[in-house]
């Protein structure tokens, strides 16, 4: 009986947290726009969240593309269809790996930093003092960070895909000696804008929304102590990764499955 | 108990608890306008909590907090922000914004609430910093300040807009004797020349007795005594005497509520 009560209690806690997260998102996004104040804050966050994540995205994209090229070649060469490696690299990247891996890296690199930063502001009473000055911290602190994350992730994902294709081409064309004409032509013929590129982009947009939402909520809702902040940071990475992988399955089923 | 001519903050039957632990139990506090009121009490009794309740950052379980006859807990979010424009609060930790300089910290409320030209903002900020003795530090970052300096910058920020009500949470903690004297004078001067209402939370008894017009002593989720410094020095209650003379043993508990000490120690040896 106790177990059941505990389960119910945990479920209710999670539900309440979900409700708070929704309220925070709503209150920070639905407000009278103040472009002159908000725009510089937003640009600063684009720099911290997006530009500073570029290196890890570019390096990972390059390696993943190269690995795809190698693996694809070794499998396809058995069937004599190694010319199709370009198609395989591009489709795996655009449909799956670019949005998913970018979102996972983004959760670790930018999401955890967001949570820690906001949590520290809470612990040092900076959020309270904003409130007392008469500035809503949801709009001043949360909103620009949310928008920046939401916008940066799809762009980072696109960069990941482009760099990945380049990595695949280095391995396939320069090292394994596949004819470059057929590598690119195969890729162009098989990658469809609506089915592949657009669906990949939609995934990245959804992941951007979810990961950034989790990150800012965990920071804002954390227990304002050093222990609380470290727990919140861990939760951000764990919850976002699980959410990304779970949502990826659902989105893939809807987009590419026969559902 | 004195009757005040003009009450700016009127707290009636305030109850608030953290989890199961009551912090306030049906407390009445009146803050007179234009005076310096001190809230004193052992640490952990809820002095900071009281300031947050007045500022509307926490909602009481019951009771009302009237600031100029507006009931803070019942205000909408936007009305609340309107009331807060007239309040300044010095946080216990200073709470400076760590990503901007000392100058920008003090300028922040001015930029938010006024359309002053940059020249004028500069003058106002430097004047406020001068008042706390830190004009020379205006282009430092908060991380380059000591705790006491940060608290003084935070004070300059709290008074940047000349608010009607200023709440100081432990302003004297961590200040050297010179800065302490300057702060005491500054708070008194602000109060007398500009007619601010000041609320000081403190446990520096001597400084507070010297500066306050009226004092509330809080313990055990109640107001255990209130009055002018003279009135309090004549109070016969052991609890109040103990607090004012700063003795650890007496009716005011120094310890956080706990199990029996002996039992606790023996339990480890089972
Ligand atoms: N965020 C919080 N969550 C739970 N309990 C708190 C919180 N903040 C303060 N408390 C508790 O409330 C009591 C009063 O705190 P506070 O108002 O900070 O005391 P002080 O009189 O020293 O300023 C303390 O005993 C503390 O344990
Ligand atoms: Mg306190």
pLDDT, tens digit, 9 for 90 and up, residues A22-53: 888 888 888 777 777 788 889 999 999 999 99
Question: Rounded to whole angstroms, what are the CA distances from B40 to B22, B50, B138, B165?
Answer: 18, 11, 33, 18
Residues B42, B95, B118: CA angle, nearest 5 degrees: 140
Rg (CA), chain A: 21
Separation of alpha carbons A22 and A240, rounded Å = 16
Question: Rounded to whole angstroms, what are the CA distances from B8 to A14, B23, B52, B87, B225?
Answer: 42, 23, 16, 12, 20
Beta carbons within 8 Å of A35's beta carbon, 6+ residues apart: none
Separation of alpha carbons A19 and A27, rounded Å = 12
Identify the residue with better confidence: B249 or B114.
B114
Distant-in-sequence contacts of B41-46, Cβ < 8 A, 24+ apart: B41/B203, B41/B217, B41/B218, B41/B219, B41/B243, B42/B203, B42/B219, B42/B243, B42/B252, B42/B253, B42/B254, B43/B203, B44/B256, B45/B218, B45/B219, B45/B220, B45/B221, B46/B16, B46/B218, B46/B221
pLDDT tens sequence across A138-164: 888 999 999 999 999 999 999 999 999
Contact between B37 and B46 under an 8 Å Cβ cutoff? The reply is no
Task: Quote the pLDDT of residue A234.
Answer: 96
Burial (CB < 10 A; 0-12, 13-18, 19+), residue B218, is buried
Atom of ligand 1 at shortest range from CA of B92 = 23
Is A132 in contact with B97 (Cβ distance < 8 A)? no
Q: Hey, what are A241's tokens?
A: 């990764």
Task: Quote the pLDDT of residue B178.
Answer: 82
The runs of H, that is alpha helices, within chain A are: 2-29, 35-45, 54-76, 85-92, 98-106, 112-123, 126-133, 137, 143-169, 180-190, 199-221, 226-256
Task: Judge whether A19 lies within some domain.
Answer: no
Q: What residue of A is the nearest CA neighbor of B53?
A: A132
Average pLDDT, chain A: 91
Is B57 in contact with A133 (Cβ distance < 8 A)? no
The region of weakest confidence among A20-34, A198-212, B248-262 is: B248-262
Q: Which domain holds residue A94?
A: 37-255
Beta carbons within 8 Å of B4's beta carbon, 6+ residues apart: B30, B32, B33
pLDDT interval class at B270 (50, 70, 90):
low
pLDDT tens sequence across A46-86: 999 999 999 999 999 999 999 999 999 999 989 888 888 99
Separation of alpha carbons B207 and B149, rounded Å = 19
Q: Give CA torsion, residues B253, B254, B258, B262, to 10 deg.
A: -100
Task: Quote the pLDDT of residue A210.
Answer: 96
List, chain by chain if needed, residues with CB within 6 Å of any ligand 1 atom. B 18, 23, 43-49
A85-92 vs A54-76: helix crossing angle, rounded to 10: 140
pLDDT tens sequence across B116-162: 899 999 999 999 999 888 898 889 999 999 888 888 899 899 988 88
Residues 125-144 of A with CB under 8 A from B: 125-126, 128-136
A to B CB pairs, distance under 8 Å: 46
Q: Select the residue from A24, A40, A125 to test the B interface by mutation, using most B Cβ atoms within 10 A.
A: A125
Identify the residue with better confidence: B47 or B237.
B47
Strand order in the sheet with B36-40: B87-90, B165-169, B197-202, B36-40, B214-219, B222-227
Q: Hey, what are A8's tokens?
A: 């119910």
Q: Select the residue from A129, A144, A224, A225 to test the B interface by mutation, using most B Cβ atoms within 10 A.
A: A129
Residue whose tokens read 């809080």: B218
- Span B190-194, mean pLDDT? 80
Beta carbons within 8 Å of A26's beta carbon, 6+ residues apart: none
Identify the residue with better confidence: B4 or B252.
B4
Task: Judge whether A16 lies within some domain.
Answer: no
Separation of alpha carbons B59 and B76, rounded Å = 12
pLDDT interval class at B209 (50, 70, 90):
confident
Least distant ligand from the CA of B45: 1
End-to-end CA distance of chain A: 40
Most confident of A128-132, A187-191, A230-234, B181-185: A230-234
Number of structural domains, chain A? 1
Q: Which candidate from A129, A134, A136 shows the least CB-CB separation from B91?
A: A129
* pTM assigned to the model: 0.83
- Span A193-221, mean pLDDT? 93
Task: Judge whether A232 lies within some domain.
Answer: yes
Residue B207 burial (CB count, 10 A): 20
Q: Which candidate from A124, A131, A135 shows the least CB-CB separation from B93?
A: A124
Percent of chain A with pLDDT over 70: 99
Task: Judge whether A121 lies within some domain.
Answer: yes
HSE (side-chain half, CA atoms, 13 Å) at B252: 26
**SS3 label, residue A139:** helix
Please say if the pLDDT value at position B190 is more than 90: no
pLDDT tens sequence across A95-106: 999 999 999 999
Task: Quote the pLDDT of residue B112.
Answer: 87
Please say if the pLDDT value at position A229 is more than 90: yes
Among residues A168, A164, A175, the alpha carbon closest in space to that of A84 is found at A168
Please say if the pLDDT value at position B258 is more than 80: no
Task: Quote the pLDDT of residue B187.
Answer: 86
Length of chain B: 270
pLDDT interval class at B2 (50, 70, 90):
low
Task: Judge whether A189 lies within some domain.
Answer: yes
Task: Judge whether A23 lies within some domain.
Answer: no
Task: Judge whether A4 lies within some domain.
Answer: no
Percent of chain B with pLDDT over 90: 34
pLDDT interval class at B252 (50, 70, 90):
low
Please say if the pLDDT value at position B247 is more than 70: no
Percent of chain A with pLDDT over 90: 62
Task: Judge whether A24 lies within some domain.
Answer: no
Please say if the pLDDT value at position B251 is more than 60: no
CA of B93 to the centre of ligand 2 (A): 9
pLDDT tens sequence across B35-90: 999 999 888 888 999 999 999 989 999 999 999 889 999 998 888 888 888 888 99
């Amino acid at each position: 009986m106790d177990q059941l009560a505990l389960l119910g209690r945990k479920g209710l806690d999670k539900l309440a947290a979900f409700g708070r997260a929704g309220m925070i998102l709503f209150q920070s996004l639905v407000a009278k726009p103040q472009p002159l104040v908000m725009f510089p804050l937003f640009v600063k966050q684009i720099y911290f969240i997006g530009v500073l994540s570029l290196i890890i995205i570019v390096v990972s994209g390059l390696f993943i593309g190269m690995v795809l090229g190698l693996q694809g070649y070794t499998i396809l060469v058995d069937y004599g269809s190694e010319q199709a490696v370009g198609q395989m690299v591009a489709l795996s990247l655009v449909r799956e790996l670019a949005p998913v891996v970018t979102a996972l890296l983004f959760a670790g690199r930018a999401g955890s930093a967001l949570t820690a930063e906001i949590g520290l502001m809470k612990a040092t009473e900076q959020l309270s003092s904003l409130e007392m000055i008469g500035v809503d911290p949801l709009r001043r602190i949360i909103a620009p960070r949310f928008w920046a994350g939401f916008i940066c992730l799809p762009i980072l994902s696109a960069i990941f895909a482009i760099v990945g294709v380049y990595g695949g081409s280095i391995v396939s064309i320069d090292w394994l000696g596949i004819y470059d004409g057929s590598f690119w032509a195969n890729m162009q013929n098989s990658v469809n804008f609506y089915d592949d590129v657009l669906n990949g982009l939609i995934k990245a947009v959804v992941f951007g929304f979810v990961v950034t939402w989790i990150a800012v909520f965990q920071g804002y809702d954390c227990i304002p102590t050093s222990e609380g902040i470290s727990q919140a940071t861990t939760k951000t990475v764990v919850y976002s990764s699980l959410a990304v992988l779970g949502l990826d399955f659902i989105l893939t089923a809807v987009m590419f499955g026969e559902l | 108990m004195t009757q005040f001519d003009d009450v700016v903050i009127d707290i009636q039957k305030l109850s608030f608890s953290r989890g199961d632990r009551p912090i306030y139990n049906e407390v009445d506090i009146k803050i007179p306008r234009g005076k310096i009121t001190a809230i004193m009490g052992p640490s952990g009794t809820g002095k900071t909590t009281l300031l947050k309740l007045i500022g509307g950052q926490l909602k009481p379980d019951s009771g009302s907090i009237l600031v100029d006859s507006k009931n803070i807990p019942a205000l909408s979010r936007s009305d609340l922000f309107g009331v807060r424009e007239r309040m300044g609060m010095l946080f216990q930790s200073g709470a400076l914004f760590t990503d901007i300089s000392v100058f920008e910290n003090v300028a922040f409320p001015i930029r938010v609430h006024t359309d002053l030209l940059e020249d004028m903002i500069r003058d106002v900020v430097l004047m406020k910093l001068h008042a706390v003795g830190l004009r020379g530090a205006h282009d430092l970052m908060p991380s380059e300040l000591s705790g006491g300096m940060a608290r003084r910058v935070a004070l300059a920020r709290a008074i940047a807009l000349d608010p009607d009500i200023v709440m100081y949470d432990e302003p004297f903690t961590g200040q050297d004797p010179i800065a302490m004297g300057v702060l005491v004078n500054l708070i008194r001067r602000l109060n007398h020349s500009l007619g601010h209402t000041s609320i000081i939370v403190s446990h520096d008894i001597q400084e507070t007795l010297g500066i306050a017009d009226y004092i509330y002593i809080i313990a055990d989720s109640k107001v255990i005594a209130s009055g002018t410094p003279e009135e309090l020095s004549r109070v016969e209650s052991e609890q109040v005497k103990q607090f004012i003379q700063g003795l650890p043993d007496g009716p005011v508990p120094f310890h956080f509520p706990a199990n029996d000490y002996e039992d606790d120690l023996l339990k480890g040896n089972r």
